[in-house]
Amino acid sequence: MNQISQQVLDISVQYLGPAAERFLERQTRAHLNGLLFTDLQKSHIPELTSWIRISAALIIDKKKADEFALKISRLG
């Protein structure tokens, strides 16, 4: 896992727990042209952020999903 993937995962675990990696894999595969989460680059962060904001809001509180997405966007 590269550094940016690890940083995204570290933040995601705070909101989604141990299933965070599975969640991120789904996001990158489904919305970033089948990209493996472990191959994530800084350039993917803006698009990943917008999908995280939408998808996380279906799992956790919307306010927390926005906070989560904001933290991810700062990595870009």
Q: Which residues bind another protein (CB under 8 A)?
A: 13-20, 22-23, 26-27, 29-30, 55, 58-61, 63-64
- Which residue, 1 or 13, is less far from another protein as judged by CB? 13
- Which residue, 42 or 55, is less far from another protein as judged by CB? 55
- Which residue, 39 or 61, is less far from another protein as judged by CB? 61
Minimal distance in Å, beta carbon 27 to another protein?
8
Q: In Å, what is the CA distance from 16 to each residue of 23, 43, 49?
A: 8, 23, 15
Minimal distance in Å, beta carbon 11 to another protein?
12
Residue 24 near residue 38, CB atoms below 8 Å: no
Token pair recorded at residue 24: 């991120």
CA angle 59–71–63, rounded 5-degree value: 40
Token pair recorded at residue 40: 């994530």
